[in-house]
Structures are given as C-alpha cells and as structure tokens.
Amino acid sequence: MTQTVQLPIQNVSCDACAKVIGRVLKRFDQATFVSVSPDAQTLTITCQEDDLGSIKEKLREYNYLNEEESPRPHFSYTVQRIIQNHPSFQAENELLTRTIILFGVLFVTLGAMYFFWFPQNALFIQLWPILALIPVGIAINAGALLHVRQLCHHFTCTNGMMTGMIIGMISGFMSGALIGATNGMFVGSLTGMTVGMGASAYAVRKTGIMGILEGLMAGLMAGTMGAMLSVMMMTDNLILFLYILFVACTLILGGMSYFMLKEIGPIHDERKEIALFPLALISVLVLMVVVTLVFFGPKSAIAFGASI
C-alpha cells in the first residue's frame, strides 16, 4: 500500500541534496520524492509501507535523517564513514586506499630510479626535495580523476564547469610550478598548460562543452602561473613554497571530492572497477616521463640546480 510520509531531515542545504535523496528513492518501487519544507527540516515522500524502514535506513546512512537532538555535521560524518569503510561508502574507501597505495608505489619507484639510474648524481640529490613531490602530485590527481570518472555521467552543466575548473587549475598549477622550478619558466609553462588543459578536458569530456572550456581556460592560466611563481621565488624559500602549494592543492582536490559527494551522493550503481595494476603502470610511466624531462629537458638559466 502506497502512503505519504513526512520525515525529519538534516544537512539538506541545497537542491543538489534533494537530488541525492531522489536518487536514493529511485531504488525503491513506487517511492517518489514530493518536497522538502522551506526550512529544510521535513522531507515528504510517497512509498510502499513495506519500504519505509529501508528508505529511512538509507537516509540515515547518508546522514540526512534527523533522529537526534543535535544534528551531526555532514563533513565529519562522511569522512568518518569513508575511513571506517561503511557499506554505503565502500567505493570511496577503495578509491582512497588506491590513491595511498599508488603514492607508495611511485615513491618507491622514484627511489629505485636514483639507485639504478642516477647513483651518486649530485643534481638528483640537490633536486630531491622537489622530486619527492612528483609522486604526491601524480597520486592525488589520479585519485581525483578516478572519482570524477565514477560520477561524471550524473553531472549537471554546473557540476562539469566546477570540476573542469578545479582539475585544470590544480593539475596545471602543480605541474607548472614543479617543472618551472627544475627547468625554468618556458618548459614549466608548456608542461603546466599541457597537463592542466589535458587533464581537465579528459575529466569532463562527457559533461558538455562548457565544462571542457572552463577546464581548458583554467589549465592555461594555472600552468603559466605555476611556472612563473616558481621562477619568481627561486631565491626566496622556493622549496617551502612548493610544499605549501602541494598541501593546499591536495586540500582543494579533497574538497572537490566532498563537493561531488554532496552534489551527487556516494558511488553505487555507477561504480566502475578500479584496477590497481593498470593504474600503477600508467602512473609509473608518467613518473618516468616527468623525471626524464627534469634531467634531460631544456633548462633556462633561472632554474633550481641549473649551475650543477
């Protein structure tokens, strides 16, 4: 028997949250979203009487059902559930685990390159504080791209534009700043532009031309700006700046993932397999290309270690 039910809710702050609830209801026959009250405290739905308990459980898992005197903050609740590998967030936990493993693989590979390809190389030793950032940049950007890949077919035009801008800006800034530091502004700018524009176009290629253009513009600007800042700070705490930059970029990419969780919800029916071996192989190849560029690519007179 179909009935109309009003449920107390929390953390429903925008239309995107209501869409996430709508996606939850689609998993149940004859369950439909009716409305959210103006104060975002009450959800009205229709559903089968037998499905009500399961629907409430799903809303409870996503921290939308308000059954407590003090509502739990959505961000801390979500992060806790991901770390605990809760059934509703298993795909996100797997994605985070893959990213951490990927960083470890890349860091070990970078160390092996020193011992087998650059033993006792003075330039490698001097550049090590910068080279150590390469696995970080590859791993976190790969993780972000994988998360986008899982959910991109649910993106609205606005979602695509925001994601394209973030991916283009962050990947372009990180790669441009790193190569700008080791090779100079010209090579750094070209690298940053190529990485930022390419990564953003790939990430949002299925979301419409506006998202692609937003990403291309962000990659263009960030790639050149990253290289320019590294060159400008060559004698002014460059290494410290790069580490602060990478921390900030990591936090922004983490914020993008949270934004996708809020706008679209956890990964479920659309889940795609994340095969670790191909991911690690591609990432190692990218690492080798970047290291090759650092040591054998063109260098300007203003670059870290240029005198060696």
Residue with the bigger pLDDT between 227 and 27: it is: 227
List the single range of 54-58, 107-111, 168-172 with lowest mean pLDDT.
Answer: 54-58
Q: Residue 158's pLDDT band (boundaries 50, 70, 90)?
A: confident
Least Cα distance to 89 among 275, 266, 263, 271 occurs for: 266
User: Is residue 254 a contact partner of residue 141, using CB atoms and an 8 Å limit?
Assistant: no
Residue with the bigger pLDDT between 130 and 306: it is: 130
CA–CA distance, 228 with 177 (Å, rounded to integer):
7
CA–CA distance, 173 with 53 (Å, rounded to integer):
48
Report how far apart, in Å, the C-alpha atoms of 213 and of each of 57, 190, 216, 259 are. 41, 18, 5, 20
Residue 266: how many other CB atoms lie within 10 Å: 24
List the single range of 48-57, 67-76, 83-92, 278-287 with lowest mean pLDDT.
Answer: 67-76
Nearest 10 degrees: CA dihedral of 205, 208, 213, 218? -60
Fold classified for 2-72:
Alpha-Beta Plaits (3.30.70)
CA–CA distance, 170 with 184 (Å, rounded to integer):
19
Mean pLDDT (whole number) for 205-225: 92
Highest mean pLDDT among 8-22, 97-111, 112-126: 97-111
List the single range of 61-65, 196-200, 238-242 with lowest mean pLDDT.
Answer: 61-65
CA–CA distance, 91 with 146 (Å, rounded to integer):
11
Percent of the chain with pLDDT over 70: 94
Q: Tell me, what's the pLDDT at 72?
A: 64
End-to-end CA distance of the chain: 79
Give 175-199 as a DSSP string: HHHHHHHHH-HHHHHHHHHHHHHHH
Task: Flag whether pLDDT at 70 surpasses 60.
Answer: no
Mean pLDDT (whole number) for 116-140: 88
CA–CA distance, 107 with 120 (Å, rounded to integer):
18
Give the pTM.
0.82
List the single range of 11-15, 133-137, 146-150, 199-203 with lowest mean pLDDT.
Answer: 11-15
Mean pLDDT (whole number) for 95-124: 88
Q: Tell me, what's the pLDDT at 71?
A: 58
Residue with the bigger pLDDT between 293 and 123: it is: 293
Q: Which two tokens stand for residue 240?
A: 């410290």
Task: Flag whether pLDDT at 6 surpasses 70.
Answer: yes
Q: Where in the chain is the domain with CATH 3.30.70.100?
A: 2-72
Q: Residue 214's pLDDT band (boundaries 50, 70, 90)?
A: very high
Measured on CA atoms in the order 149, 166, 11, 208, is the torsion positive or negative? negative
How long, in residues, is the chain? Answer: 308
Q: Which two tokens stand for residue 213?
A: 């253009």
pLDDT tens digits along 161-183: 999 999 999 999 999 999 999 99
